[in-house]
Chain A
Amino acid sequence: MRDPPEMSVTPLESFPPLEQWDDWVGYDASQWPRKVEQRFMLVPTTCFNCEAACGLVAYVDKATKQIRKLEGNPYHPGSRGRNCAKGPATLNQIEDPDRILYPLKRIGPRGSGKFERTTWDEALDALARPIRAAIQEGRKTEVMYHVGRPGHDGYMDRVLQAWGVDGHNSHTNVCSAAARVGYALWMGADRPSPDHANARFILLLSSHLETGHYFNPHAQRIIEAKAAGAKLCAVDVRLSNTASLADYWLAPWPGTEAMLLLAMAHVILRECLFDRAFLQTWVNWRDMLRATGAPGGSFDDFVRSMKEHYAYASPEAAAKECGVPAEQIVAVAREIGRAGSRFAAHVWRNAAAGNLGGWQVARCLMFLSVLVGAVGTPGGTNPNTRDKFVPPPFMKPPPQNVWSELLYPREYPLAYHELSYLLPHFLKEGRGKIAAYFTRVYNPVWTNPDGMLWEQVLRDEKLIGLHAAITPTWSETAQYADYVLPTGLGAERHDLMSQETHASQWISFRQPVLRVARERMGEHFEWTHQANPGEVWEEDEFWIALSWRIDPDGSLGVRKYFESPYRPRQQISVEEYYRWIFEQSVPGLPAEAAKRNMSPLEYMRRFGAFLVNADTYLGHMEELKPAEAAGAETDTTTGEVRKNGKTIGILADGKPRAGFKTPSRRLEIHSQTMIDWGWPEYAMPAYIESHIHRRKFNPDKGEYALVPTFRLPTLIHTRGNSKWLYELSNANPVWIHPEDAARVGVELADLVRITTDIGYFVNKVWVTEGMRPGVVACSHHLGRWRLSEDTPTHRWVSALVEKQEVAPGRVRFRRIEGVHPYESTDPDTRRIWWTDGGVHQNLTFPVHPDPVSGMHCWHQAVRVERAHPGDLYGDVEVDTNKSMEIYRQWLAMTRPAPGPGGLRRPLWLARAVRPTDEAYRIDGPAR
């Protein structure tokens, strides 16, 4: 028998003490109970498995110089040492036997899936050539960087502006565009930052106790509030884990959420539960009275006219429209009223991302926060800009003086942001072409609607001259690249991030932990890829190297932005880039570092995160600076502080204050912008009937609304090749209520064929009481495929499929084999016990661009029927001929620019990588 254990005293510590992070001695778990000691270097980094930027600490084994595991970072203000399942699973991605370790170059036709190893040198030259030519020839919209998960704040904006191109494309419009418009119209900031921890009542149109960013930081604070007595309401058509933990679960008909929220506003107005003083000062109610011609001019007149305006949204009317009992609507409204300024609310995707007019869902939700004065308050909802801090880097390039209509077409002047998923439609229409296209951790063929149209365009070398997929792992899109460039995972790269996780501002530093650990042990590396596995680069150094190759002699004016601020005319190192930011741009960091005898960079390398500001409430109450207020006139009746014909602040408590980032500097119940840009009927928060309104369905004919957007608690879209996550989640059956299942004639696990406007997919059913009758739902997180074993996309969970063109434009996917065990360097691949892997659905979705927000309205009108004879599990068929037709139908709903002043977009609305004001003019520089 072994010796009695040497006991440590309780209570136990959560983390090794900081002073031992360079040499932490732990016991090797794999040898236990033999007491074999292992020495670790603990290096903090930032999780890359969603956008929340939680802290991680990597345990680097000093003997093997490998990462043994990743834990939380106790010094991270957002995540506070804790993580969701995706954090520790980073190890799987690093050790994935199928990960890409060397740069690859296509051989054979594009899309054939045949690649050979190449050098970074060759790839950089090949990419620099067309970009240099495009810049030289003034084709500044022909370079496009298309990003899925950014994972950094502003680095690429700087690179693209240094190149002078208008080429930033994102995934926003398949994700959050609608919510952004709803929030921006109210407060300028396009994102909410609920202060859950201090709330008394929380209303979520989201599932933040299980998914989404900022899941982990939000879930911590929501439960904290619940433990302190707060109540929670979740609005979701299916029973989410979040809904399960809510005091109120409301499952309205999808698409009626705005009506539900307006009914709550109706109750708050009717029962005078609103915050009169707050509204009087901070809402542009006079504009509303003026524009609507409502009688009188007093605040009471405003209240009266609001009651009239929203009279239609009574709880009874909403109950009928939404299918939620009126009493529940009243009960929740009263809870909101009781919570007052401690009412926190959040929507980011959910109903906003599903429906035509979904942007009004966010607007109606924010309406509730405004009514009870819960904006910028403890327990309320902040504009995200108050809780996020992006320190500027050295030498900011000027904004590009060019406007890409492939990104911001004139049909969508109010969209947030780029019409990313319409890129293939635009290219096919001949709106432009692309000389160099980067997909960066972006998988549009799989993720976006109408993936087969993406496939057509990606194959076409006339439309896309050169395609480089920057990705740590295989994807359905990398298949169609000319170069596949492996870049680092969350523990193999530098990035700087900040997120509005709660009422604070912080920054989090992502680090290549092997490099940092080995440098602490005395080695020196010029490049991060020298310390990374294989030839995996970090992107920061890739863009620096590429920029130097684009402009080797500095004659294009590009190179100077990539020269060291410390060593003139030398290439900047990634370390120098962040060193400068930490020294110059982060208030309080140099002083805090000095206290510990560290340089700011050393501090960030050691702690991985820094709390910049813990007092972020009431940003609108900040006094105008004397320089700003100088020469301004104050209208004491309206409280407007005006200068040069523009409102720059609001008089409140006797002082001129900054207010909100809207034209009126107030929260805008009434938006002149909407009127000016052609949508007068939406000047105020309103209910827009969704494209999947239930009037359009007859379940007896098999017609249903499909909600295809929900996420699973452990999955990471398409970047997360993690065995530990896939063994927990490996199927995405179609959720259907038992009544509907009986109507369709299926039982649990039977196959159904779900037919959309452009195709169908065959999946099994999950018959559940946790689903609103009349609606079906399917998670978008599974259904990965690989076309061959040469491009082994996510074999833990992908099916090998045969893709066949059954008729011109008609493509069919059929499974050759499902998920199965296989031999690899990881013995766990032999132990794969699941066979499913799920069914892909997005291929069968036509594009549904909302005419205002540009959001792809995900929900689908579908026919649900028993699988046909011959249908097999996983079958997908799409008719791309129909998809252009439906694109045009939705395009026809738009009301194109120009707006007032001949602009492409209101100047006050945010735009990603903002160009010059001149470029906003419709007759300005563009393509």
Chain B
Amino acid sequence: MKYGFLIDHDRCIGCHACTVACKAENGVPVGNFRTWVKYLEKGKFPEIRRHFAVLRCNHCDNAPCVTICPVNALEKRPDGIVDIDRDACIGCRACMQACPYDAIYLNEDLGAVEKCHFCAHRVEKGLEPACVIVCPEQAIVTGDLDDPASRISQLIKDNRTLVRRPEQGTGPNVHYKGIEPALLAPGEPERPSTYLWSDRPAHKPEAWPISLPVLKDTRVVLDAGHRVEWGWPVALYLVTKGIAAGAGMLAPFAAALGLTGWAAAYLPEILALVFTLATVTLLIEDLARPMLFYRLLTRPNWRSWLVKGGIILGAFGAASAGALGLRLLGLGGAADALRWAEAILGIGAAGYTAFLFDQCEGRDLWQSKWLLPHLLAQAVLCGAVAFLPFSGAYPPLIMVMLAAAVVHLTIAAVERFGPHETTNAKQGAAFLGTIRIGPLLPWREGLLIGGGLAAVLAPIVPSLAFIPALAGLYLYEWAYVRAGQLPPLS
């Protein structure tokens, strides 16, 4: 049993009845959509036509939203429907990063995410979804895709149909008949600043990078908007986590890196603990329902790297606290031994985000093989600059810091200018270089300040090098987090 949709664009007239019926059925807040109609125009007068696409959740076979949800609020049901338990949701919005179709939104009133759930509440009473029955043209067909005799299976068999973004490997179950392919190529048609009879939602005001190819005489003329859900807290979290993890990773080498006295004894753990705490605070604060963060532990989804990452962070914090405690108890030798565990867990704490971001099927920029080494290098850089004020311009530490900075800059350059496999990743990389904060180009400035200026300052004024290094890294991360979310998925 597998429910799916077939949208027959040989019949669809682009009337939005499905959009509005869905809103009425499901009480969808203004500004959000569980299903919507995108318009595209292709051609030149008089050989021009407008084309429509009805877009919504694909109820994927391998739904990345289900995989990433840390609290099992999303579920692939035995009948194929991907449903959301809004009571369980903690509002981390990871599913919105994992979904490659822009199908999920945050209901701000509830602090929980929502999306098309195939009107499961109707289906269980034997009724078709609201969009299906309202459609003047009966252009939305439902049925059992596992049953070769069902009408939907027959239609798919007898017609050429397409699915959205098959390269994502999600196994989408919304099939499109008679659709203009450019409608299923997000970001490739031109996107004007306003639409033919609507404002264009201002969630992504950034200009489209001119370096990206645009399909000729093809443009989106009406579409729903999608918010950028992860912002400065996530960028800052990457920095604070970098400091904590970096300090932990360098802890066994504290003396070798020039730390002396109390700093050699306590600084790595103090940094690890303070910044782990800051990291956890940022993570919790960024939840739409922060008070429910404990559900990460009470209803964990062990496939989600949010859960695994949380455990690693916790273990890292515990190891750091342990090392600190042992040393305070005068057990310096045991503390030194524990620092090795701290370092290994530090690598985990720094690096797990690469696996989490890899679960973000909607963010191809983040799904880079370079992300793991990049995060580790950033962590080492953070740890090193955090040690610098206490070590003076100690050459080995300077060397470590410079090496980390070089790796960071190199990988950043590769992410920006290197080859990318998917269009979405290419678009994200292009945005890296073009997004702005006021007059700043945060990606460029982030690297110049965080890598260049910090490297120059480190030997001269070691006690202040952490300022440009961390500020620059924050700018870089801000650009990276945002750029990954800017390419349209729909």
Residues of A within 8 A of B (CB): 1-2, 4-16, 25-30, 32-35, 69-72, 81-89, 91, 209-210, 216, 219-220, 223, 227, 239, 241-245, 249, 251, 712-714, 723-725, 727-733, 735, 737, 748-749, 764, 766, 768-773, 779, 781-782, 827-828, 831-836
* A175 CB, nearest partner CB in chain B, Å: 21
Q: Provided the pairs A14-B132, A219-B136 are in contact, do residues A770 and B124 lie with their beta carbons within 8 angstroms? A: no
Q: Is the CB of B15 within 8 A of A10?
A: no
A91 closest partner in B (C-beta): B24
B220-238 residues at the A interface, CB under 8 angstroms: 221-222, 225
With A16-B127, A71-B133 as known contacts, state yes or no: A770 contacts B45, CB within 8 Å.
yes
B24: contacting residue among A25, A32, A70, A245, CB under 8 A: A70
What residues on B are CB-neighbors of A86 within 8 Å? 20
Would A69 and B199 count as touching, CB distance under 8 A? no
In the assembled complex, the Cα of A724 lies from the Cα of B84 at a distance in Å of 23
B194 and A766 contacting across the interface, CB-CB below 8 Å? yes
Would you give 9 A-B contacts (Cβ < 8 Å), ordered by A? Answer: A6-B124, A14-B128, A29-B25, A29-B27, A216-B136, A239-B48, A242-B13, A771-B45, A831-B108
Q: Is A724 a contact of B24 with CB atoms below 8 Å?
A: yes
- Whether B77 is near chain A, meaning CB under 8 Å from some CB there, is yes
B-side contacts of A87, CB under 8 Å: 17, 134
Given contacts A8-B124, A219-B136, A833-B202, contact A210 B14 (CB under 8 A): yes
Q: Which B residue sits closest to A714, measured CB to CB? A: B16
CB–CB A713/B16 < 8 A: yes
Interface membership of B30, Cβ < 8 A: yes
**Is B198 part of the contact surface with A, judged by Cβ < 8 Å?**
yes
**Is A749 a contact partner of B194 (Cβ separation < 8 A)?**
yes
User: B50 is contacted by which of A219, A244, A831, A833 (Cβ under 8 Å)?
Assistant: A244
**In contact, B133 and A15 (Cβ under 8 angstroms):** yes
CB-based nearest A residue for B227: A833
When the two chains form their complex, are residues A732 and B197 in contact, meaning their CB atoms are under 8 A apart?
A: yes
Q: Are A833 and B201 in contact (CB under 8 A)?
A: yes
B137:A219 contact, CB within 8 angstroms? yes
**Which residues from A are CB-within-8-Å of B128?**
12-14
Query: Given the complex, which residues of B lie within 8 Å of A832, measured CB to CB?
Result: 30
Identify 11 new A-B residue pairs, CB closer than 8 A, beyond the known A729-B198, A748-B192, A749-B193: A12-B122, A33-B84, A71-B134, A85-B15, A85-B17, A223-B136, A244-B51, A245-B13, A729-B197, A782-B197, A832-B30
Q: Which of B21, B119, B123, B150 has the most CB of A within 10 A?
A: B21
Residue of A10, A14, A779, A831 contacting most chain B CB atoms (<10 Å): A10
Given contacts A239-B48, A737-B45, A769-B43, contact A764 B124 (CB under 8 A): no
User: CB distance B20 to A89 under 8 Å?
Assistant: yes
**Is A88 a contact of B24 with CB atoms below 8 Å?**
yes
Determine if A27 and B198 form an interchain contact, defined as CB atoms under 8 angstroms apart.
Answer: no
In the complex, per-residue mask of B70-85: 1 if CB is within 8 Å of any chain A CB, else 0: 0010010111000111
Residue of A nearest to B72 (CB): A1
B44 on the interface (CB 8 Å rule)? yes
Question: Which residues of B, 1-46, contact A by the 8 Å Cβ criterion?
Answer: 1, 10-11, 13-17, 19-21, 23-27, 29-31, 41, 43-46
B17 to chain A: which residues have CB within 8 Å? 82-85, 87-88
Which residue from chain A places its CB closest to the CB of B133 in the assembled complex? A14
B55 CB to closest chain A CB (Å) equals: 14
Question: Which B residues are closer than 8 A to A by beta carbons?
Answer: 1, 10-11, 13-17, 19-21, 23-27, 29-31, 41, 43-46, 48-52, 72, 75, 77-79, 83-87, 108-109, 117, 119-128, 130, 132-138, 142-144, 147, 150-151, 192-199, 201-202, 217, 221-222, 225
Contact partners of A828 in chain B: CB under 8 A: 29-30
Known: A748-B194, A768-B196. A223 touches B13 (CB 8 A): yes
Chain A residues near B30 (CB, 8 Å)?
723-724, 727, 828, 831-833
A239 proximity list for chain B (CB < 8 A): 41, 48-50
Q: How far is the CB of B136 from chain A (nearest CB, A)?
A: 5
Give the complex CA separation of A210 and B136 in angstroms.
11
Shortest Cβ distance from residue A549 to the other chain B in the assembled complex, whole angstroms: 39
A27 touches B125 (CB 8 A): yes
How many angstroms between the C-alpha atoms of A782 and B137 in the bound complex? 27
Task: Indicate which residue in A15, A83, A735, A831 contacts B29 across the interface (CB closer than 8 Å).
Answer: A831
Flag if A72 contacts B50 (CB, 8 Å).
no
- CB <8 Å contact, A733 and B194: yes
A contact residues around B41 at 8 Å (CB): 239, 768-770
The complex places the Cα of A869 from the Cα of B43 at a distance, in Å, of 35
Which 7 A-B pairs have CB atoms at the shortest separation, nearest pair first? A27-B121, A244-B50, A8-B126, A828-B30, A85-B20, A834-B199, A88-B24
Smallest beta-carbon distance B3→chain A, Å: 8
Given that A14-B133, A83-B17, A832-B30 are contacting pairs, would A25 and B125 also be in contact in the complex, using a CB cutoff of 8 Å?
A: yes
Q: Are B127 and A241 in contact (CB under 8 A)?
A: no
CB distance from B283 to the nearest CB of A (A): 25
Q: Is the beta-carbon distance between A26 and B132 smaller than 8 angstroms?
A: no
The answer for the CA separation of A749 and B125 in the assembled complex, in Å, is 48
Contact between A13 and B126, CB atoms less than 8 A apart? yes
Nearest A residue to B202 via CB reads A833
Give the complex CA separation of A484 and B334 in angstroms. 85
Distance A770 CA – B50 CA, assembled complex (angstroms): 9
CB <8 Å contact, A712 and B197: yes
B136 and A82 contacting across the interface, CB-CB below 8 Å: yes
Q: Name the B residues within 8 Å of A32 (CB-CB).
A: 86, 117, 120-121
Q: Verify B134–A766 contact, CB threshold 8 A.
A: no
Residues of A within 8 A of B195 (CB): 731
User: In whole angstroms, what is the CA distance A834 to B222 when docked?
Assistant: 13
Contacts of B52 in A (CB 8 A): 241
Given the known interface contacts A245-B13, A714-B16, A770-B45, the answer about A7 and B124 at a Cβ–Cβ threshold of 8 Å is yes
A220 to B11, CA, bound (A): 9
CB distance from A442 to the nearest CB of B (A): 24
Q: Which residues of B contact A748 (CB under 8 A)?
A: 192-194
Contact of A714 among B20, B75, B83, B136 (CB under 8 A): B20
For B83, give the chain A residue with the smallest CB separation.
A33
Give min CB distance, A469 to chain B, whole Å.
28
Contact B87 A34 (CB under 8 A): yes
- Kindly report which residue of chain B lies nearest to residue A36, judged by CB atoms: B121
- Cβ contacts under 8 Å, B125 to chain A: 8, 25-27
Contact A83 B127 (CB under 8 A): no
Q: Does B78 lie within 8 Å of A4, measured CB to CB? A: yes
CA distance A244 to B142 in the complex (A): 26
Most buried by A among B29, B135, B136: B136
- Report how far A241 CA is from B16 CA in the complex, Å: 12
List residues of chain A with CB within 8 A of the CB of B134.
71-72, 82-83, 87-88
| Contact B121 A26, beta carbon cutoff 8 Å | yes
Residues from chain A with Cβ under 8 Å of B79 in the complex: 5, 7
Quick check: B137 and A223 within 8 Å, CB to CB?
yes
A9 to B11, CA, bound (A): 27
Question: Which among B25, B78, B86, B132 is the interface contact of A5 at CB below 8 angstroms?
Answer: B78
Closest to B201 in A: A833
Q: Judge whether B48 and A770 touch: CB under 8 Å.
A: yes
The distance in angstroms between the C-alpha atoms of A768 and B195, with both chains bound, is 11
Is the CB–CB distance between B124 and A5 below 8 Å? yes
- In the docked arrangement, what's the CA distance between A714 and B19, Å? 11
Contact check, A834 vs B138: say whether CB atoms are below 8 A apart: no
CB-CB < 8 A to A71: which residues of B?
21, 130, 133-134
CA separation between A266 and B292, bound complex, in Å?
Answer: 76
Q: Which of B14, B143, B144 contacts A241 (CB 8 A)?
A: B14
Residue of B nearest to A241 (CB): B14
Contact residues in A for B14 (Cβ distance below 8 Å) = 210, 241, 244, 713
Q: Which residue of A lies closest to B87 (CB)?
A: A34
Residues of chain A lying within 8 A (CB to CB) of residue B137: 219-220, 223
B1 — which chain A residues lie within 8 A by C-beta? 7, 10
Q: How far is the CA of A650 from the CA of B280 in the complex (A)?
A: 91
A769 touches B25 (CB 8 A): no
Task: Point out the residue from B86, B120, B138 that lies within 8 Å of A82, measured CB to CB.
Answer: B138
- Nearest B residue to A728 via CB reads B16
Interface-central residue, B25, B31, B108, B198, by most chain A CB under 10 Å: B198
Contacts of A781 in B (CB 8 A): 197
